[in-house]
Amino acid sequence: MARRAATSPSSPELDPRKATILEAVVVEHINTAQPVGSSSVAANAHLAVSPATVRSEMVSLEHEGYLAQPHTSAGRVPTDKGYRYFVDHLQSGVLGPVQQHQVHEFFANVRGEVEDVLEQTTSLLTQLTSYTSVVVGAGHSHATVLSVQLVNLDARHQLLVSIFSDGSVVKHSVMSTFDVNHEEVAEASRQLNALLIDTTLATTVQVPSRNDHVATLVREAASALHAVPPTTDGEQVFIGGSSKVAEVFEGVETVRKVLAILEQELLVVSLVQDILNQGMSVAIGSEHGFESLAACALIVAPVTIDGSPAGAVGLLGPTRMKYREAMAAAEAVSRELTRHFGGEEDRG
């Protein structure tokens, strides 16, 4: 319920009958992918009115922008606004027993590093919903350094391995212009530890200005660590079920566009995070502002660790996707993921 409220950017109430009709149209169109006619609404929705009445209501709904007509003599199709109303007034569904079981099984058996779990979670989500799934793991921009280690690959190549408090590990190669022996590397490693432990990536550190081998190594290693790629602070993206794109969308061109977006992982991250920042759980059609995703709806659910945002799960489908089921799945998985990571910490 809280969710539903948080998720309503613009849903003026609608006359109850209109609401029922709109809902019927949406449901029907989601199931059939066809324009919906007045008679099928009159039959289906159990409001005891004639098709003619439904028709006049539909005209009105069309004027208000909730429905559209592909051509003069066809049924109606929901607009993005129509879907939005539908979603905002959707009572939250619950996962079917089979799906619940799948989720339970998954989290009971899943093992391995965070990355592996997140990766596998995309499979779970796609299996649950038949939609393309996205899992975003938060960056480690405010994690502190637990330990760094500089090792010699050969005399001119060193590797800086940094371990962060959130369990992430990052490596950077360092190339030196002079030969370095093991003692120098060990000494540099020691100094780097002293310098970097408990700092974050954002912290600026005081590097030695001397020009001996060790000091130079330390300088280069530290700068390698702080040379953050400008576009991201290390979020990870996992995408699962991209083949579903070809099943679920019609029209090669749409498929191509969607795949092209999915290829740009940075874009996907920002897309998901934009939606979360706006407090939404669903972005429909043009709402997310990506031209080439106009045919898509994206459901997102945040994952938190110890109350602070740690990532998100998402489901990407056509605007006529099965919102209730997909939202239930996204929520269940995000909840379990939160518990999986958070709970582990508590128990440990």
* Contact footprint for DNA (CB under 7 A): 34-40, 48-53, 55-56, 58-59, 62, 69, 71-76
Tell me which of its own copies, DNA, none is bound by residue 56, counting a contact when its beta carbon lies within the kind-specific cut-off of 5 to 8 angstroms: DNA
The residue among 288 and 320 lying less far from DNA, judged by its C-beta, is: 320
Stretch that binds its own copies, among 32-40, 96-104, 145-153, 198-206 (CB under 8 A): 145-153
**Do 84 and 284 touch, CB atoms closer than 8 A?**
yes
Tell me which of its own copies, DNA, none is bound by residue 309, counting a contact when its beta carbon lies within the kind-specific cut-off of 5 to 8 angstroms: none
Tell me which of DNA, its own copies, none is bound by residue 194, counting a contact when its beta carbon lies within the kind-specific cut-off of 5 to 8 angstroms: none
Residue 4's SS3 state is helix
**Do 110 and 339 touch, CB atoms closer than 8 A?**
no
Which residue in the block uniquely carries the two structure tokens 């899943």?
Answer: 110
Tell me which of its own copies, DNA, none is bound by residue 243, counting a contact when its beta carbon lies within the kind-specific cut-off of 5 to 8 angstroms: its own copies
Would you tell me how many other CB atoms lie within 10 Å of the CB of residue 260? 11
181 binding its own copies? (CB under 8 A): no
Residues 232-261 interacting with its own copies (rule: CB under 8 A): 240-243, 245-247, 252, 255-257, 259-260
171 binding its own copies? (CB under 8 A): yes
Would you tell me how many other CB atoms lie within 10 Å of the CB of residue 248? 21
Paired strand residues for 135: 238, 313
Which residue in the block uniquely carries the two structure tokens 């939609």?
Answer: 131
DSSP 179: -
Smallest gap from Cβ 53 to DNA, in A, equals 3
Tell me which of its own copies, DNA, none is bound by residue 154, counting a contact when its beta carbon lies within the kind-specific cut-off of 5 to 8 angstroms: its own copies
**Do 248 and 317 touch, CB atoms closer than 8 A?**
yes
270 binding its own copies? (CB under 8 A): no
Identify which of 68, 179, 136 has the alpha carbon closest to the alpha carbon of residue 334.
Answer: 136
